[in-house]
Amino acid sequence: MISEKYSKLTLKNKIIASLIGLALVILSLLYFIVIPTTREIKIMGNDIEAQRVDLEKKYIKGQSLKQLTENLKKIEPKLELLDKVFVIKNHELEFITTLENQANKNQISQKINLSPPQATENPGLEKISLQLYAKGEFIKQLKYLMDLESLNYYINIKSLELLYSPAEAPAAAGDKPGDITISINADTY
């Protein structure tokens, strides 16, 4: 029926009808195929870009993790030394024994006062205030101080006082004339 109507049209109308039909086919192709495909290509492009950025971040993170692993391998042997620097919780007696051994080694008398541990800014780390009073000859006191400095423990000295008893002055019980009294206030962790 459409073909009968088409055959009755004049040449001019046939050309116009053909052009309109062709335009409708092209518009239909654009609307149903090209535009949706373009949208999908844009979405896919955005997804690919997002994946590229994500992969770049993962690569950088992997490189950073690799670098951290290498750094950890370098410092891991030194971590054991760092652990020895701190007084281990509930092992304060070992620390006191070490201090007493240093005093005995240097032939000086010593009195130790430790305060209870106090919390610090770093979790898992406690500060212990330490007071040391030592009496003895000057040279022995110097050796004692050098031995304290060479201990593996971290001792942060806040103050150090020296009191000299001249040979002419009367000595207190147990003191020898010319002895030095050292008072040290320090923190350890």
DSSP conformational letter for 167: T
Of 37, 61, 82, at which residue does a domain stop? 82
- Count the domains in the chain: 2
Of 61, 82, 103, the residue that ends a domain is 82
User: 69 with 140, same domain?
Assistant: no
Residues 6 or more apart from 137 whose CB is under 8 A from it? Answer: 107, 108, 176, 178, 179, 180
**pLDDT tens track for 11-69:** 888 888 889 999 999 999 888 998 999 999 999 999 999 999 999 999 998 888 888 88
The closest alpha carbon to 130, from 184, 91, 182, belongs to 184
* One domain for residues 65 and 150: no
Q: Is 87 within a domain?
A: no
Residue 56 covered by a domain: yes
**Domain co-membership, 96 together with 78:** no
Confirm whether 68 is domain-assigned: yes
Domain span at 129: 92-188
Flag whether pLDDT at 129 surpasses 70: yes
Indicate whether this model's pTM tops 0.85: no
Domain boundary among 35, 59, 82: 82
